[in-house]
Amino acid sequence: MTATIDSPRSGKNSSGKISPQYRRTGASRGNFEMFAWLFMRLSGVVLVVLIFGHLFVNLLVGEGIHAIDFGFVAGKWADPFWQIWDLAMLWLAMLHGTNGVRTIINDYAEKDSTRLWLKIVLYAATTVIIVLGTLVIFTFNPCPVVDGVPLPGGFCPA
Amino acid sequence: MTAELAEPASKIELPAHIGGGGEIPTFDVTLRVRRYNPEVSEDATWEDFKVTMYGTDRVLDALHKVKWEIDGSVSFRRSCAHGVCGSDAMRINGRNRLACKTLLKDLDTTKPITVEPIKGLPVEKDLIVDMEPFFQSFREVMPFLINKGHEPTKERLQSAEDRERFDDTTKCILCAACTSSCPVFWTDGQYFGPAAIVNAHRFIFDSRDDAGDMRLEILNDKEGVWRCRTTFNCSEACPRGIQVTQAIAEVKQAILSRKI
Ligand code: SF4
Ligand code: FES
């Protein structure tokens, strides 16, 4: 009579030694994760300057917080300097935040389907906000005229 | 069969002025061990053991006492019992340590001492986990010298400074305390993990090795170094005091400076 003794450490399922959740699914090509990592550091540094500059100009200079109204924003966006400033802030903050949340999803979502859906929602939200924000910065019109009647505002030249 | 001491106390006559072993204070500790036996139940449970230990004893000694005198079915790995082989990493009071390097008197003995298997690897029985995924990652970074030049007739010389460059990461004993303390590894078992990166670091920064680029390429993976969140759990867990997080950061730097 012969008995078969499993070789030690052959695991519960004889098909493979390592259970599937540990097996790396092929090497990823490209440097995407490296650039994502680098982007987080660089955009973080730039955002510190942009955001504190933004807060300083809006809240502390001149009349400070009391000066902020529709007209104040309109005045700022009439200047290409602030257009570029706000555009950079919008894009960098959105991409920085999106990448951060993408990382959190990767870290915490355990099921592939959950991960996929969370990322679809994330990327959709990011796209909408970036497109909308960019549009507003460049097409902002402080004195819109609807059907020949200027909308009330009080700061537009009559 | 009566419980018999597996290892009877040694009898050495000591002169009175040296003092006997009785001078070492004894105390009672409760060891709360995570028990798991898939042949009995799919659920893991806690089991408490009360043992009287000496001030010079380690958690490993308490486990031995339990296994040898109370319940022989308690299972754990250990080999050298002196912090060299790396087989007895476990989660003691919630922290990854080597049972053979953790003195009981350094822990709070008024409360039960919890002993669990390291996290993130499949438990086989009690404190024994399947280390295969861990070693798979280790093998993938090619932890051996690769030299393209002609084989020298004598040893490969290296300056003291060149040797110093990777000295810290030569100390690894592959205990898996770091990898199983990493929160990224807990949810993503495909992550290479700190130990594999430490052992890649050991060869990447070795002036005699020629395959650093290949190893950097392997770790430039989506499951490679960029998965690290710099939480420092690994550096804190390492029983050899290796600056694991720093080693990972150096590998990141090396990949960056090679690519850009
Ligand atoms: S780096 Fe330290 S904690 Fe990690 S496997 Fe090596 S010795 Fe153990
Ligand atoms: S038994 Fe060898 S390191 Fe603890």
One domain for residues B124 and B108: yes
At B109, which CATH number?
3.10.20.30
Strands B113-116 and B26-35: what pairing? Answer: parallel
pLDDT, residue B16, reads 63
Task: Say which of A22, A27, A31 has its CB closest to residue B189.
Answer: A22
**For residue B1, what pLDDT is reported?**
47
pLDDT at site A112:
86
Give me the pLDDT at residue B121, please: 95
pLDDT tens track for A130-143 = 999 999 998 887 77
- CA A103 from centroid of its chain's CA atoms: 12
Do residues B117 and B137 share a domain?
A: no
- pLDDT at site A91: 97
Residue B18 has pLDDT above 70, yes or no: no
Residue B229 has pLDDT above 80, yes or no: yes
- Residue B188 and residue A22: Cβ atoms within 8 Å? no
Measured distance CA(A123)–CA(B225) in Å, rounded: 24
pLDDT of residue B4: 60
Tally Cβ neighbours within 10 Å of residue B198. 30
- pLDDT, one tens digit per residue, over B23-59 is 678 899 999 999 999 999 999 999 999 999 998 999 9
Angle between helices A80-108 and A112-139 (to 10 degrees): 170
- Mind telling me how many Å the CA of A31 is from chain B's nearest CA? 7
Q: Closest Cα partner for B209 from B199, B223, B195, B219?
A: B199
- The Cα-based distances of B49 to B65, B70, B105, B240 in angstroms read 10, 8, 17, 29
Q: Give A116's contacts (C-beta < 8 A, 6+ positions apart).
A: none
Q: Tell me the residue type at A134.
A: T
User: B109 and B203 share a domain?
Assistant: no
- Higher pLDDT: A67 or B217? It is B217
B119 near A CB under 8 A: no
pLDDT in tens, A99-145: 999 999 998 888 889 999 999 999 999 999 999 999 999 888 777 77
A114 touching B (Cβ < 8 Å): no
pTM: 0.84
Distance from C-alpha of A95 to C-alpha of A123, rounded to nearest angstrom: 10
CB neighbourhood size of B203 (10 A):
23
Interval B185-193 mean pLDDT: 93
Q: Are residues B136 and B120 in the same domain?
A: no
- Name every chain B residue with its beta carbon within 8 A of the beta carbon of A103: 229
Total beta-carbon pairs less than 8 A apart between chain A and chain B: 53
CATH code (residue A70): 1.20.1300.10
Identify the sign of the CA torsion B207, B152, B144, A37: positive
Cα B76 to ligand 2 centroid, rounded to whole Å: 11
Give me A116's structure tokens. Answer: 């996929």
Total number of domains in chain A:
1
Position A81 in a domain: yes
**Quick one: which of B144, B254, B154 has its CA closest to B199?**
B144
**Residue B199 and residue B107 share a domain:** no
Ligand 2: residues with CB < 6 A are: B 78-81, 83-88, 98, 100
Burial class of residue B1 in the structure, from the number of CB atoms within 10 Å of its CB (0-12 exposed, 13-18 middle, 19+ buried): exposed
Distance from C-alpha of B21 to C-alpha of B54, rounded to nearest angstrom: 10
Q: Whose CA is nearest to atom 3 of ligand 1?
A: B238
How far separated are the first and last CA of chain B, in Å rounded?
71
Closest Cβ–Cβ partner in A27, A37, A108 for B226: A37
Give the C-alpha distances (Å, rounded to integers) separating B213 from A41, B7, B10. 24, 52, 55
Residues of B in contact with A27 (CB under 8 A): 218, 221
Q: What does the alpha-carbon distance between residue A130 and residue A36 come to, in Å, rounded to a whole number?
A: 18
Query: Are residues B151 and A37 in contact, defined by beta-carbon separation less than 8 angstroms?
Result: no
pLDDT at B220 over 90: yes
Q: Which atom of ligand 2 lies closest to the CA of B99?
A: 4
Residue in A closest to B254 by C-alpha: A34
On whether both B123 and B85 belong to a single domain, the answer is yes
Helix (H) or strand (E) holding B95: strand B95-98
Mean pLDDT across B122-141: 94
- Name the token pair of B56: 């010079």
Specify whether the CB–CB gap between A72 and A26 falls below 8 A.
no
pLDDT given for residue A14 in this prediction = 42
Query: Measured between CA atoms, how close is A4 to chain B, in angstroms?
Result: 20
Q: Which residues pair with B33 in a beta bridge?
A: B47, B115
The reported pLDDT for the residue numbered A116 is 95
In eight-state DSSP terms, residue B48 is: E
Instruction: Provide the domain limits for residue B192.
Output: 132-147+161-259
Cα separation, B169 vs B200, in Å, equals 9
pLDDT surpasses 50 at A15: no
Looking at per-residue pLDDT, the higher value among B66 and B14 belongs to: B66
The verdict on residue B231 lying in a domain is yes
pLDDT one-digit tens code per residue, A18-54: 788 888 876 666 899 999 999 999 999 999 999 999 9
- pLDDT class for A6, splitting at 50, 70, 90? low
**pLDDT range class, residue A13, cuts 50, 70, 90:** very low
Cβ separation B224–A33 shorter than 8 A: yes
Of B93, B98, B104, give the one whose Cα is nearest residue B62: B104
> pLDDT by residue (tens digit) across B53-89?
998 999 999 999 999 999 999 999 999 999 999 999 9
- What is the distance between the alpha carbons of residues B81 and A35, in angstroms, rounded to a whole number? 45
Question: What distances in angstroms separate CA B44 from CA A20, B25, B228, one per listed residue?
Answer: 22, 34, 30
Q: How many domains does chain B have?
A: 2
What's the confidence (pLDDT) of residue A153?
57
CA-to-CA distance for A87 and A74, rounded, in angstroms?
15
Partnered with residue B49 across adjacent β-strands are: B31
Q: Look at residues B138, B116, B149 and name the one whose alpha carbon lies nearest to residue B198.
A: B138
Pocket residue to mutate for ligand 2, from B79, B90, B127, B171, most atoms within 8 A of Cβ: B79
Q: Does the residue B11 lie in any domain?
A: no
ipTM of the prediction? 0.79
pLDDT-derived band at A64 (thresholds 50, 70, 90) equals confident
Classify strands B45-54 and B26-35 as parallel, antiparallel or unpaired. Answer: antiparallel
Nearest bound ligand to the CA of residue B242 = 1
Is B6 among the domain residues? no
Residues with beta carbon inside 6 Å of ligand 1?
B 86, 172-178, 194-195, 198, 237-240, 242, 244
CA B29 to centroid of ligand 1, rounded, Å: 28
* Domain extent for A97: 31-141
